[in-house]
Amino acid sequence: MVTSTDTSHGSSSDAREPALLHGTPVVPGVAYGPALVARTEVSPDAIAAFDGSALDEEAALTAFDSAVGTVADGFARKAEVASGAAAEVLTASAGLARDKGLRGAVRKHLRSGEDLLASVHAGVEQFVTVFTGMGGLMAERVTDLRDIERRVVAHIVGEPEPGVPTPQTPSVLVAEDLAPADTAGLDPAVVVALVTERGGPTSHTAIIARQLGIPCVVGTAGALAVSAGTPLLVDGTAGTVETHPDESVALERVEADRETRAALATWTGPGHTADGTPVKLLANVADGDSARSASEAPVEGVGLFRTELCFLNRKDEPSVEEQTGIYAQVLGAFDGGRYVVSARSTRARTSRSRSPPTRARRTPPSACAACGSRSATPTCSSGSSTPSPPRPSRPAPRPG
Protein backbone atom coordinates (compact mmCIF):
# COMPACT_ATOMS: atom_id res chain seq x y z
CA MET A 1 0.00 0.00 0.00
CA VAL A 2 1.28 3.45 -0.86
CA THR A 3 0.33 6.51 1.14
CA SER A 4 0.53 9.85 -0.64
CA THR A 5 -1.55 12.98 -0.87
CA ASP A 6 -2.30 15.69 -3.40
CA THR A 7 0.77 17.20 -5.01
CA SER A 8 -0.64 20.50 -6.25
CA HIS A 9 1.38 23.64 -5.60
CA GLY A 10 0.64 25.57 -2.44
CA SER A 11 -1.26 28.80 -2.94
CA SER A 12 0.57 32.13 -3.29
CA SER A 13 -0.87 33.13 0.07
CA ASP A 14 1.10 30.37 1.83
CA ALA A 15 3.14 32.20 4.44
CA ARG A 16 5.49 29.31 5.19
CA GLU A 17 9.12 30.44 5.38
CA PRO A 18 11.62 28.82 3.00
CA ALA A 19 13.90 26.17 4.52
CA LEU A 20 17.06 24.64 3.09
CA LEU A 21 17.73 20.90 3.45
CA HIS A 22 21.14 19.42 2.72
CA GLY A 23 22.01 16.00 1.32
CA THR A 24 24.48 14.22 -0.92
CA PRO A 25 24.33 15.31 -4.58
CA VAL A 26 24.39 12.37 -6.98
CA VAL A 27 22.81 13.57 -10.24
CA PRO A 28 23.35 17.20 -11.29
CA GLY A 29 20.56 19.46 -12.43
CA VAL A 30 17.96 21.85 -11.06
CA ALA A 31 14.24 21.03 -10.84
CA TYR A 32 11.18 22.68 -9.33
CA GLY A 33 7.86 21.10 -8.46
CA PRO A 34 5.47 20.00 -5.72
CA ALA A 35 6.53 17.24 -3.35
CA LEU A 36 5.07 13.80 -3.89
CA VAL A 37 5.83 12.09 -0.57
CA ALA A 38 5.78 8.32 -0.94
CA ARG A 39 5.61 5.99 2.04
CA THR A 40 5.43 2.37 0.96
CA GLU A 41 4.36 -0.38 3.31
CA VAL A 42 2.37 -3.57 3.35
CA SER A 43 -1.03 -3.14 4.98
CA PRO A 44 -0.61 -3.62 8.76
CA ASP A 45 -4.17 -4.98 8.91
CA ALA A 46 -3.33 -7.68 6.34
CA ILE A 47 -0.22 -8.66 8.28
CA ALA A 48 -2.16 -8.81 11.55
CA ALA A 49 -4.87 -10.96 9.96
CA PHE A 50 -2.41 -13.51 8.56
CA ASP A 51 -2.31 -16.70 10.64
CA GLY A 52 1.14 -18.18 10.14
CA SER A 53 0.59 -20.77 12.86
CA ALA A 54 -1.72 -22.67 10.52
CA LEU A 55 1.26 -23.64 8.34
CA ASP A 56 3.72 -26.38 9.19
CA GLU A 57 7.39 -26.02 8.21
CA GLU A 58 7.08 -27.47 4.71
CA ALA A 59 3.87 -25.58 3.90
CA ALA A 60 5.43 -22.35 5.14
CA LEU A 61 8.57 -22.89 3.05
CA THR A 62 6.41 -23.66 0.00
CA ALA A 63 4.53 -20.39 0.53
CA PHE A 64 7.86 -18.56 0.82
CA ASP A 65 9.19 -20.18 -2.38
CA SER A 66 6.03 -19.24 -4.26
CA ALA A 67 6.20 -15.62 -3.11
CA VAL A 68 9.93 -15.38 -3.91
CA GLY A 69 9.36 -16.82 -7.38
CA THR A 70 6.66 -14.27 -8.10
CA VAL A 71 8.80 -11.38 -6.86
CA ALA A 72 11.89 -12.52 -8.78
CA ASP A 73 9.88 -13.06 -11.97
CA GLY A 74 8.49 -9.54 -11.59
CA PHE A 75 12.00 -8.11 -11.38
CA ALA A 76 13.03 -10.15 -14.43
CA ARG A 77 10.08 -8.92 -16.50
CA LYS A 78 10.91 -5.33 -15.65
CA ALA A 79 14.56 -5.97 -16.56
CA GLU A 80 13.52 -7.23 -19.99
CA VAL A 81 11.90 -3.91 -20.90
CA ALA A 82 14.53 -1.76 -19.20
CA SER A 83 18.00 -0.94 -20.47
CA GLY A 84 21.46 -0.06 -19.24
CA ALA A 85 21.95 0.25 -15.49
CA ALA A 86 18.24 -0.22 -14.77
CA ALA A 87 18.20 -3.63 -16.45
CA GLU A 88 21.40 -4.67 -14.66
CA VAL A 89 20.09 -3.61 -11.26
CA LEU A 90 16.74 -5.37 -11.72
CA THR A 91 18.48 -8.55 -12.88
CA ALA A 92 20.66 -8.44 -9.77
CA SER A 93 17.57 -7.96 -7.59
CA ALA A 94 15.96 -11.04 -9.15
CA GLY A 95 19.05 -13.06 -8.27
CA LEU A 96 19.11 -11.66 -4.76
CA ALA A 97 15.47 -12.68 -4.18
CA ARG A 98 16.19 -16.25 -5.31
CA ASP A 99 19.41 -16.61 -3.34
CA LYS A 100 19.75 -20.03 -1.68
CA GLY A 101 21.44 -18.51 1.34
CA LEU A 102 18.38 -16.40 2.08
CA ARG A 103 16.11 -19.40 1.67
CA GLY A 104 18.31 -21.40 4.01
CA ALA A 105 18.13 -18.70 6.66
CA VAL A 106 14.33 -18.63 6.45
CA ARG A 107 14.16 -22.42 6.75
CA LYS A 108 16.47 -22.34 9.77
CA HIS A 109 14.11 -19.99 11.61
CA LEU A 110 11.07 -22.04 10.60
CA ARG A 111 12.70 -25.13 12.09
CA SER A 112 13.31 -23.24 15.32
CA GLY A 113 9.55 -22.79 15.67
CA GLU A 114 9.08 -19.23 14.38
CA ASP A 115 6.12 -18.52 12.10
CA LEU A 116 6.54 -17.66 8.42
CA LEU A 117 6.50 -13.86 8.60
CA ALA A 118 8.88 -13.82 11.57
CA SER A 119 11.20 -16.23 9.75
CA VAL A 120 11.25 -14.10 6.61
CA HIS A 121 12.09 -11.02 8.65
CA ALA A 122 14.79 -12.83 10.65
CA GLY A 123 16.34 -14.29 7.51
CA VAL A 124 16.51 -10.90 5.81
CA GLU A 125 17.90 -9.27 8.95
CA GLN A 126 20.65 -11.89 9.08
CA PHE A 127 21.97 -10.71 5.72
CA VAL A 128 21.26 -7.07 6.44
CA THR A 129 23.77 -7.49 9.27
CA VAL A 130 26.28 -9.17 6.94
CA PHE A 131 25.96 -6.53 4.23
CA THR A 132 26.09 -3.66 6.71
CA GLY A 133 29.23 -5.09 8.26
CA MET A 134 30.91 -5.35 4.85
CA GLY A 135 30.28 -1.65 4.27
CA GLY A 136 30.69 0.22 1.00
CA LEU A 137 28.68 -0.96 -1.99
CA MET A 138 27.40 -4.03 -0.18
CA ALA A 139 25.90 -1.89 2.60
CA GLU A 140 23.97 0.00 -0.10
CA ARG A 141 22.24 -3.30 -0.99
CA VAL A 142 20.41 -3.30 2.34
CA THR A 143 17.66 -1.22 0.72
CA ASP A 144 17.24 -3.94 -1.92
CA LEU A 145 16.95 -6.64 0.75
CA ARG A 146 14.28 -4.77 2.66
CA ASP A 147 12.36 -4.12 -0.55
CA ILE A 148 12.42 -7.82 -1.36
CA GLU A 149 11.15 -8.58 2.15
CA ARG A 150 8.20 -6.18 1.73
CA ARG A 151 7.27 -7.65 -1.64
CA VAL A 152 7.54 -11.25 -0.45
CA VAL A 153 5.47 -10.49 2.66
CA ALA A 154 2.84 -8.77 0.51
CA HIS A 155 2.38 -11.92 -1.59
CA ILE A 156 2.29 -14.16 1.47
CA VAL A 157 -0.52 -12.16 3.10
CA GLY A 158 -2.40 -11.65 -0.18
CA GLU A 159 -1.69 -7.95 -0.73
CA PRO A 160 -0.44 -6.14 -3.86
CA GLU A 161 3.30 -5.44 -3.98
CA PRO A 162 4.15 -1.97 -2.65
CA GLY A 163 5.37 0.61 -5.13
CA VAL A 164 5.71 4.30 -5.94
CA PRO A 165 2.60 6.15 -7.21
CA THR A 166 2.65 7.85 -10.60
CA PRO A 167 2.08 11.62 -10.18
CA GLN A 168 -0.52 13.33 -12.32
CA THR A 169 1.59 16.48 -12.67
CA PRO A 170 5.40 16.97 -12.81
CA SER A 171 6.54 16.49 -9.21
CA VAL A 172 9.53 15.93 -6.96
CA LEU A 173 9.44 12.41 -5.54
CA VAL A 174 10.38 12.36 -1.84
CA ALA A 175 10.88 9.07 -0.01
CA GLU A 176 12.83 7.47 2.80
CA ASP A 177 14.62 5.40 0.17
CA LEU A 178 13.74 3.84 -3.16
CA ALA A 179 14.19 0.26 -4.31
CA PRO A 180 15.44 -0.67 -7.82
CA ALA A 181 11.97 -1.73 -9.01
CA ASP A 182 10.57 1.64 -7.93
CA THR A 183 13.33 3.77 -9.45
CA ALA A 184 13.62 1.88 -12.74
CA GLY A 185 9.96 2.51 -13.57
CA LEU A 186 10.02 6.27 -13.07
CA ASP A 187 8.98 8.55 -15.92
CA PRO A 188 11.29 11.61 -16.13
CA ALA A 189 8.45 13.54 -17.74
CA VAL A 190 6.46 13.53 -14.49
CA VAL A 191 9.14 12.84 -11.87
CA VAL A 192 11.41 15.85 -12.27
CA ALA A 193 13.69 15.13 -9.29
CA LEU A 194 14.36 12.56 -6.56
CA VAL A 195 14.97 13.31 -2.89
CA THR A 196 15.57 10.53 -0.37
CA GLU A 197 16.25 10.68 3.33
CA ARG A 198 18.53 7.67 3.22
CA GLY A 199 20.91 6.18 0.66
CA GLY A 200 24.29 7.09 -0.72
CA PRO A 201 26.02 7.94 -4.00
CA THR A 202 26.47 4.25 -4.91
CA SER A 203 22.90 3.19 -4.10
CA HIS A 204 20.71 1.77 -6.83
CA THR A 205 18.53 4.89 -6.58
CA ALA A 206 21.56 6.97 -7.55
CA ILE A 207 22.67 4.59 -10.31
CA ILE A 208 19.29 4.51 -12.06
CA ALA A 209 18.65 8.24 -11.51
CA ARG A 210 21.90 8.92 -13.38
CA GLN A 211 20.70 6.83 -16.30
CA LEU A 212 17.34 8.63 -16.35
CA GLY A 213 19.01 12.04 -16.02
CA ILE A 214 16.80 13.02 -13.07
CA PRO A 215 18.34 15.49 -10.57
CA CYS A 216 18.83 13.52 -7.38
CA VAL A 217 19.83 14.27 -3.80
CA VAL A 218 20.15 11.39 -1.30
CA GLY A 219 20.81 11.24 2.43
CA THR A 220 18.70 14.36 2.91
CA ALA A 221 18.05 14.85 6.62
CA GLY A 222 14.49 15.97 7.28
CA ALA A 223 13.14 15.02 3.85
CA LEU A 224 10.21 13.04 5.23
CA ALA A 225 9.13 16.00 7.32
CA VAL A 226 8.20 17.77 4.08
CA SER A 227 4.44 17.84 3.54
CA ALA A 228 2.96 16.55 0.31
CA GLY A 229 2.40 19.36 -2.16
CA THR A 230 5.14 21.59 -0.71
CA PRO A 231 6.92 23.45 -3.55
CA LEU A 232 10.54 22.25 -3.74
CA LEU A 233 13.60 23.54 -5.59
CA VAL A 234 16.10 20.69 -5.94
CA ASP A 235 19.73 21.36 -6.85
CA GLY A 236 21.36 18.05 -7.70
CA THR A 237 24.74 19.69 -8.10
CA ALA A 238 24.88 21.46 -4.73
CA GLY A 239 22.93 18.76 -2.87
CA THR A 240 20.28 21.15 -1.58
CA VAL A 241 16.48 21.05 -1.37
CA GLU A 242 14.74 24.37 -0.76
CA THR A 243 11.16 24.38 0.48
CA HIS A 244 8.76 27.18 -0.46
CA PRO A 245 11.22 29.02 -2.74
CA ASP A 246 10.26 32.17 -4.59
CA GLU A 247 8.57 30.77 -7.68
CA SER A 248 10.01 33.28 -10.16
CA VAL A 249 13.54 32.73 -8.85
CA ALA A 250 13.06 28.95 -8.95
CA LEU A 251 11.88 29.02 -12.56
CA GLU A 252 14.83 31.23 -13.53
CA ARG A 253 17.26 28.73 -12.01
CA VAL A 254 15.59 25.83 -13.80
CA GLU A 255 15.87 27.68 -17.12
CA ALA A 256 19.52 28.59 -16.49
CA ASP A 257 20.24 24.94 -15.75
CA ARG A 258 18.51 23.88 -18.96
CA GLU A 259 20.69 26.27 -20.96
CA THR A 260 23.83 24.99 -19.27
CA ARG A 261 22.90 21.40 -20.05
CA ALA A 262 22.27 22.31 -23.67
CA ALA A 263 25.72 23.89 -23.88
CA LEU A 264 27.32 20.81 -22.31
CA ALA A 265 25.54 18.57 -24.82
CA THR A 266 27.43 20.26 -27.64
CA TRP A 267 30.83 20.12 -25.91
CA THR A 268 33.29 17.80 -27.65
CA GLY A 269 36.27 17.86 -25.28
CA PRO A 270 39.03 17.34 -24.38
CA GLY A 271 38.76 18.08 -20.66
CA HIS A 272 40.90 20.79 -19.09
CA THR A 273 40.80 23.31 -16.28
CA ALA A 274 40.28 27.03 -16.81
CA ASP A 275 44.06 27.56 -17.05
CA GLY A 276 44.44 24.86 -19.70
CA THR A 277 45.67 21.97 -17.55
CA PRO A 278 44.52 18.70 -19.19
CA VAL A 279 42.00 16.58 -17.26
CA LYS A 280 41.44 13.04 -18.47
CA LEU A 281 37.76 12.06 -18.55
CA LEU A 282 37.12 8.30 -18.28
CA ALA A 283 33.88 6.31 -18.53
CA ASN A 284 32.38 3.59 -16.34
CA VAL A 285 31.25 0.65 -18.51
CA ALA A 286 29.80 -2.82 -18.03
CA ASP A 287 29.94 -4.45 -21.47
CA GLY A 288 30.50 -3.84 -25.18
CA ASP A 289 27.25 -1.91 -25.67
CA SER A 290 27.95 0.53 -22.84
CA ALA A 291 31.54 0.93 -24.02
CA ARG A 292 30.43 1.77 -27.56
CA SER A 293 27.95 4.29 -26.18
CA ALA A 294 30.64 5.86 -24.00
CA SER A 295 33.09 6.03 -26.89
CA GLU A 296 30.75 8.45 -28.65
CA ALA A 297 31.12 10.89 -25.75
CA PRO A 298 34.17 13.14 -25.22
CA VAL A 299 35.96 10.65 -22.97
CA GLU A 300 39.49 9.30 -23.33
CA GLY A 301 38.94 5.76 -22.21
CA VAL A 302 37.51 3.45 -19.55
CA GLY A 303 37.99 4.39 -15.92
CA LEU A 304 36.11 1.45 -14.39
CA PHE A 305 35.05 -1.76 -16.12
CA ARG A 306 32.37 -3.50 -14.01
CA THR A 307 33.09 -6.97 -15.41
CA GLU A 308 30.72 -8.79 -13.08
CA LEU A 309 27.70 -6.99 -14.54
CA CYS A 310 28.12 -8.97 -17.77
CA PHE A 311 27.19 -12.20 -16.04
CA LEU A 312 24.76 -11.44 -13.20
CA ASN A 313 21.86 -13.03 -15.07
CA ARG A 314 23.63 -16.38 -15.45
CA LYS A 315 23.71 -19.52 -13.34
CA ASP A 316 27.11 -20.69 -14.60
CA GLU A 317 30.43 -18.89 -14.68
CA PRO A 318 31.49 -17.61 -18.12
CA SER A 319 34.21 -19.40 -20.04
CA VAL A 320 37.56 -17.75 -20.72
CA GLU A 321 36.54 -17.41 -24.36
CA GLU A 322 33.31 -15.60 -23.46
CA GLN A 323 35.13 -13.22 -21.14
CA THR A 324 37.78 -12.57 -23.77
CA GLY A 325 35.13 -11.75 -26.36
CA ILE A 326 33.36 -9.26 -24.12
CA TYR A 327 36.59 -7.62 -22.98
CA ALA A 328 37.69 -7.32 -26.60
CA GLN A 329 34.43 -5.53 -27.44
CA VAL A 330 35.01 -3.05 -24.62
CA LEU A 331 38.58 -2.29 -25.65
CA GLY A 332 37.71 -2.29 -29.33
CA ALA A 333 35.27 0.56 -28.78
CA PHE A 334 38.22 2.75 -27.79
CA ASP A 335 40.53 2.33 -30.75
CA GLY A 336 43.65 4.36 -31.24
CA GLY A 337 45.01 3.52 -27.79
CA ARG A 338 42.22 5.30 -25.87
CA TYR A 339 41.82 2.85 -23.03
CA VAL A 340 42.74 2.78 -19.40
CA VAL A 341 41.03 0.12 -17.31
CA SER A 342 40.76 0.23 -13.53
CA ALA A 343 39.73 -3.19 -12.22
CA ARG A 344 38.04 -3.43 -8.83
CA SER A 345 39.83 -5.58 -6.28
CA THR A 346 38.03 -8.05 -4.03
CA ARG A 347 40.01 -6.66 -1.12
CA ALA A 348 37.59 -3.75 -0.99
CA ARG A 349 37.29 -3.96 2.78
CA THR A 350 40.93 -2.97 3.13
CA SER A 351 42.60 0.27 2.20
CA ARG A 352 43.46 -1.21 -1.21
CA SER A 353 39.94 -1.11 -2.59
CA ARG A 354 41.03 -0.73 -6.20
CA SER A 355 44.01 -1.74 -8.20
CA PRO A 356 45.85 1.15 -9.89
CA PRO A 357 44.88 2.14 -13.44
CA THR A 358 46.82 0.10 -15.97
CA ARG A 359 46.84 -0.60 -19.65
CA ALA A 360 44.34 -3.36 -20.30
CA ARG A 361 45.78 -6.79 -19.70
CA ARG A 362 44.23 -10.19 -20.12
CA THR A 363 42.42 -11.37 -17.03
CA PRO A 364 43.75 -14.70 -15.71
CA PRO A 365 41.48 -17.63 -16.59
CA SER A 366 39.93 -17.86 -13.13
CA ALA A 367 36.26 -17.23 -12.46
CA CYS A 368 34.43 -13.89 -12.30
CA ALA A 369 36.93 -11.32 -13.49
CA ALA A 370 35.56 -8.84 -10.99
CA CYS A 371 35.95 -10.89 -7.85
CA GLY A 372 37.33 -14.33 -8.62
CA SER A 373 34.23 -16.08 -7.27
CA ARG A 374 33.20 -19.42 -8.73
CA SER A 375 29.59 -18.20 -8.75
CA ALA A 376 27.93 -16.21 -11.50
CA THR A 377 26.51 -13.94 -8.79
CA PRO A 378 29.43 -13.47 -6.39
CA THR A 379 29.25 -11.74 -3.05
CA CYS A 380 31.79 -8.95 -3.12
CA SER A 381 31.92 -5.19 -2.98
CA SER A 382 32.09 -5.05 -6.75
CA GLY A 383 28.34 -4.59 -6.71
CA SER A 384 26.91 -8.06 -7.00
CA SER A 385 23.79 -8.83 -5.11
CA THR A 386 23.75 -12.31 -3.65
CA PRO A 387 23.75 -12.29 0.14
CA SER A 388 25.73 -15.51 0.66
CA PRO A 389 28.76 -14.45 2.72
CA PRO A 390 32.17 -14.77 1.03
CA ARG A 391 34.36 -17.73 1.84
CA PRO A 392 37.51 -16.49 3.53
CA SER A 393 39.26 -19.83 3.10
CA ARG A 394 40.07 -19.11 -0.53
CA PRO A 395 41.24 -15.56 -1.25
CA ALA A 396 40.10 -14.37 -4.65
CA PRO A 397 42.83 -13.47 -7.16
CA ARG A 398 43.26 -9.82 -8.05
CA PRO A 399 42.24 -9.17 -11.66
CA GLY A 400 44.81 -7.99 -14.10
Give 41's pLDDT tier (boundaries 50, 70, 90): confident
Kindly state the average pLDDT of the residues 334-347.
56
Whether residue 76 is found in the same domain as residue 172: no
pLDDT grade, residue 268 (50/70/90)? confident
Note whether 107 and 18 are same-domain residues. Answer: no
pLDDT tens digits, one per residue of 320-338: 898 888 888 888 887 765 5
CB 371 within 8 A of CB 382: yes
The answer to whether residues 72 and 190 belong to one domain is no
Question: Of 218 and 265, which is predicted with more confidence?
Answer: 218
31 by Cβ neighbours in 10 Å (0-12 / 13-18 / 19+) ranks as buried
Residues 169 and 71 in one domain: no
CATH number at 208 reads 3.50.30.10
The reply to whether 293 and 200 lie within a common domain is no
Query: Is 396 found in the same domain as 305?
Result: yes
Q: How much is the pLDDT for 377? A: 33
Confidence of residue 363 (pLDDT cuts 50, 70, 90): very low
Going by pLDDT thresholds of 50, 70 and 90, the confidence category of residue 208 is confident
Is pLDDT at 391 greater than 50 in this prediction?
A: no
The answer to whether 29 touches 215, Cβ cutoff 8 Å, is yes
Residue that is last in its domain, among 132, 157, 182: 157
Query: Do 397 and 280 share a domain, yes or no?
Result: yes
pLDDT at 182: 78
Mean pLDDT of the chain, nearest integer:
78
Q: Are residues 187 and 287 in the same domain?
A: no
204 has pLDDT over 70: yes
Q: How confident is the model at residue 317 (pLDDT cuts 50, 70, 90)?
A: confident
pLDDT score recorded for residue 400: 41
Q: What is the 3-state secondary structure (H, E, C) of the chain?
A: CEECCCCCCCCCCCCCCCEEEECEEEECCEEEEEEEEEEECCCHHHHHHCCHHHCCHHHHHHHHHHHHHHHHHHHHHHHHHCCHHHHHHHHHHHHHHCCHHHHHHHHHHHHCCCCHHHHHHHHHHHHHHHHHHHCHHHHHCHHHHHHHHHHHHHHHHCCCCCCCCCCCCCEEEEECCCCHHHHHCCCCCCEEEEEECCCCCCCHHHHHHHHHCCCEEECCCCHHHCCCCCEEEEECCCCEEEECCCHHHHHHHHHHHHHHHHHHHCCCCCCECCCCCECCCCEEECCHHHHHHHHCCCCCCEEEECHHHHCCCCCCCCCHHHHHHHHHHHHHCCCCCCCCECCECCCCCCCCCECCCECCCCCCCCCCCCCCCCCCCCCCCCCCCCCCCCCCCCCCCCCC
Which of residues 250, 265, 280 is at a domain's end?
A: 265
Largest distance between two CA atoms of the chain: 73
Domain count, the chain: 3
pLDDT of residue 232: 97
User: What pLDDT is recorded for position 8?
Assistant: 43
pLDDT for position 110: 93
Instruction: Give the residue numbers spanning the domain of 107.
Output: 44-157
100 and 133: one domain? yes
Residues 275 and 216 in one domain: no
Of 104, 124, 157, which closes a domain? 157
Q: What is the pLDDT of residue 392?
A: 41
**157-194 pLDDT, tens per residue?**
998 888 777 788 999 999 888 877 777 778 888 999 99
Q: Rounded mean pLDDT of 12-32?
A: 81
Quickly state the pLDDT bin for 342 (edges 50, 70, 90). low
CA angle 184, 140, 218 (to 5 degrees): 65
Domain match, 120 and 109 both: yes
> How many percent of the chain have pLDDT more than 90?
35
The residue-averaged pLDDT of 115-131 equals 92
In contact, 318 and 310? CB cutoff 8 Å: yes
**393 and 369 part of one domain:** yes
Q: Distance (Å, rounded) from C-alpha 255 to C-alpha 11?
A: 22
